[in-house]
Chain A
Amino acid sequence: MPDYDLEKLDDYRWQIAKTGGMRVPARLYATEAMLDDILSDDAPQQAANVAHMPGILKASLAMPDIHWGYGFPIGGVAAFDPDAGVISPGGVGYDINCGVRLMSSKLTKDDLDRRDTERLVDALFRRVPTGVGSSGALRVDHATLPRVLKKGAAWAVDEGYGSDADLDVVEEGGQVNGADPDAVSSRAKERGLDQIGTLGSGNHFLEVGYVAEIYDETAAAAMGLHEGHVTAIIHSGSRGFGYQVCDDALSDMDKAMNKYNIELPDRQLACTPIDSPEGQKYIRGMRCAINYAFANRQVMAQNTRLAFEEALDLTPREHGLHTVYEVAHNIAKFETHHIDGREQEVCVHRKGATRALPAGHPLVPDRYQKVGQPVLIPGDMGRYSYVLVGTDTAMSETFGSTCHGAGRKMSRRQARKTAGNRNVTAELANEGIIVRGESRRTVTEEISEAYKDVADVVEAVEGAELSQKVAQLRPLGVIKG
């Protein structure tokens, strides 16, 4: 275990002092019980490495689901001064605007018997392509793709996938400005043509579940979450398009670093000044990928509704499946925050971290103004997920950010070894959870034991007052890659 100069600030906050080339300290949010696990890999060192980057403000932050990444840790948050700071593709990640949409319905768990759930999961599996290199839900041509890249989820709505009511409750309204398709390589575009509406592989999933427990009646009611009601969670991102945008930018920036005299402990942290040609090109391309992911999830959301209609023979009015909220957890954005007592625009990087705005913030949709922005924290496929809301503390301490999920504790190979010859699909079916996976190997790699208990992560962000619990959801059926 590396020897960190770690100072306990309180029961949920730990600080790595500023040493060597660090420009600011690094701060970890975790309970004492989680600390050994967190310190056992290099993630805290990665948080300290991020603190070396030019123009970083306040502290390099690590959420309680922090784990080893490449360059930035997963669960890392860093904000940069727009004049003196940098933009870093590695601070966003390859899966640009990977995120989570939560939908809720009028149906209750008791309305679905086992055969209904099986039919529903099968219908989802047919309508939402999953797995390695999944494609084919919807193919666009080269003339159409730029509209997707500029308009995001609004493009999908224009094409008949969902409605404006969905857009009202997506982060950024499902579309960021400043996306420039000319800033994106032909390779990225090629990869983007046939992957809209697809889930992908790895930890991406689409889950049907139900509201198991409510902790905050007022907030839950505002979100249309009622105990026992059926929900759907979609976790996916910008697919091959986003990976390519990141890959291209890392290569550009790796070449340009010398020019700007930026020296960093890890080349994967490659970055250039925000206002440099390389930085601006990345920002314009990243915004295309952000919009691509918004469009991707919007199409999948509508196909989820169609699966409910087909499998359960219901009309839209009968199932009432509506979007509660959609968050992005791999993203860089310009936002207004308080720095040294004064309001300032900063460039916030969230890599495996979720925006968590408090009640009353102007960017929170009208219907959530009194309760705060919903935050969606998926757990593993066998246990539970949480809905939280943002707080004033998150706004003042973490640039309005909180955790994003459970975080793995086993490598994929270790998970396969642990599962051995177990039939994971049958085990989950015994617990009432229907799983359909394109690959048995992926399902095995995603066993519950491979993940930390998301309840611990949520306890830490609640203890630190970065978010508050609203509801717990439990799974009924899952489709995986």
Chain B
Amino acid sequence: MPSAPPDWLREIDHTGDIGLQVTAATLPQLFERAALAMFRVLTDLETVQTTDTTTIRVDGRDRVALMVRWLSELNYRHTVDDVLYRAFDVRSINEADDSFTLTATVHGEAIDPARHTVYTEIKAITFHGLDIQETDDGWGVQVIFDM
């Protein structure tokens, strides 16, 4: 069973699905923590090593779309390439008028059924109720997954 969530993460229960509320000091950290929180839903991160590194680049028309694309990209790679990630390093977030771009390196390893249990399947990262807010303390986001 997963350990207690860190203080920057709140897991929201929904009848069919799972939602996460994440806070961070900076916008790049918000994206990193959202990814970490997503992989916490999928597996026990203690069992995942960071032997493989991949560069990810996604774009979207605003921050909300960028968050959906970022998490969707990681979930797609997890699903199709059978990998788990546990460390995320957002290198840059470029914000132009109508095209936001995020570049990151992510670290993890191929799924080994002997060592890893994948708890569940995230069908998709939804736009529903997705809100990125800048607060006095930093940044916050709520994301809901379709399970």
Name A residues whose Cβ lies closer than 8 Å to a Cβ of B.
41, 67-71, 74, 93-95, 132-133, 187, 190-191, 200-202, 240, 243-244, 246-247, 250-251, 254-255, 266-268, 270, 407-414, 439, 441-442, 481
**Which listed residue (A67, A69, A246, A255) contacts B124, Cβ 8 A?**
A246
Q: For the complex, is B126 an interface residue (Cβ under 8 Å from A)?
A: yes
Contact between B127 and A441, CB atoms less than 8 A apart: no
Which 7 A-B pairs have CB atoms at the shortest separation, nearest pair first? A70-B128, A411-B13, A268-B128, A267-B127, A70-B126, A268-B127, A408-B15
Q: For the complex, is B112 an interface residue (Cβ under 8 Å from A)?
A: no
List 17 A-B residue pairs with CB atoms under 8 Å apart, sorted by A's residue number. A68-B15, A68-B17, A70-B128, A71-B128, A74-B16, A94-B123, A94-B124, A94-B146, A133-B118, A191-B80, A240-B79, A251-B69, A254-B65, A266-B127, A266-B128, A267-B64, A268-B127
Cα A121 to Cα B76 in complex, Å, equals: 32
Contact between A247 and B79, CB atoms less than 8 A apart: no
**Which listed residue (A93, A270, A409) contacts B127, Cβ 8 A?**
A270
Known contacts A254-B61, A268-B128: does B16 contact A95 (CB below 8 Å)?
no
The residues of B that contact A414 with a CB separation of less than 8 Å are: 13
Least distance between A201 CB and chain B CB atoms (Å): 5
Residue of A nearest to B125 (CB): A247
Residue of A nearest to B131 (CB): A267
Residue of B nearest to A244 (CB): B76
Q: In terms of DSSP, what is the predominant structure of the interface of chain A? A: mixed
Contact between A251 and B16, CB atoms less than 8 A apart: no
Contact between B65 and A70, CB atoms less than 8 A apart: no
Cα A119 to Cα B76 in complex, Å, equals: 36
Q: For the complex, is B134 an interface residue (Cβ under 8 Å from A)?
A: no
Least distance between A272 CB and chain B CB atoms (Å): 15
Contact between A68 and B16, CB atoms less than 8 A apart: yes
Residue of B nearest to A46 (CB): B128
Least distance between B128 CB and chain A CB atoms (Å): 3
Q: For the complex, is B95 an interface residue (Cβ under 8 Å from A)?
A: no
Residue of B nearest to A452 (CB): B15
Least distance between B83 CB and chain A CB atoms (Å): 12
Q: For the complex, is B25 an interface residue (Cβ under 8 Å from A)?
A: no
The residues of B that contact A240 with a CB separation of less than 8 Å are: 79-80
The residues of B that contact A413 with a CB separation of less than 8 Å are: 11, 13, 18
Name B residues whose Cβ lies closer than 8 Å to a Cβ of A.
11, 13-18, 60-61, 64-65, 68-69, 72, 76, 79-80, 82, 117-121, 123-124, 126-130, 144, 146-147
Cα A441 to Cα B79 in complex, Å, equals: 19
The residues of B that contact A255 with a CB separation of less than 8 Å are: 61, 65
Least distance between A461 CB and chain B CB atoms (Å): 20
Contact between A250 and B127, CB atoms less than 8 A apart: yes
Least distance between A439 CB and chain B CB atoms (Å): 7
**Which listed residue (A201, A412, A481) contacts B18, Cβ 8 A?**
A412
Least distance between A289 CB and chain B CB atoms (Å): 13
**Which listed residue (B15, B80, B121) contacts A190, Cβ 8 A?**
B80
The residues of A that contact B11 with a CB separation of less than 8 Å are: 413
Cα A409 to Cα B17 in complex, Å, equals: 12
Least distance between B46 CB and chain A CB atoms (Å): 17
The residues of A that contact B13 with a CB separation of less than 8 Å are: 411, 413-414
Residue of B nearest to A203 (CB): B16
Interface centre among A70, A95, A481 (most CB of B within 10 A): A70
Cα A255 to Cα B126 in complex, Å, equals: 15
Residue of A nearest to B144 (CB): A70
Cα A200 to Cα B64 in complex, Å, equals: 29
Residue of B nearest to A257 (CB): B61
Contact between A408 and B127, CB atoms less than 8 A apart: no
The residues of A that contact B126 with a CB separation of less than 8 Å are: 70-71, 268
Least distance between A362 CB and chain B CB atoms (Å): 35
Cα A200 to Cα B14 in complex, Å, equals: 21
Known contacts A251-B68, A267-B128, A441-B119: does B79 contact A408 (CB below 8 Å)?
no
The residues of A that contact B146 with a CB separation of less than 8 Å are: 70, 93-94
Least distance between B27 CB and chain A CB atoms (Å): 19
Contact between B121 and A133, CB atoms less than 8 A apart: yes
Interface centre among B64, B123, B147 (most CB of A within 10 A): B123
Q: A270-B127, A409-B15 are in contact. List 20 more A-B contacts (CB 8 A).
A: A68-B14, A70-B17, A71-B126, A71-B127, A71-B128, A94-B123, A132-B120, A133-B82, A190-B80, A201-B120, A201-B121, A202-B121, A247-B124, A254-B127, A255-B61, A407-B15, A410-B15, A412-B18, A413-B13, A439-B117
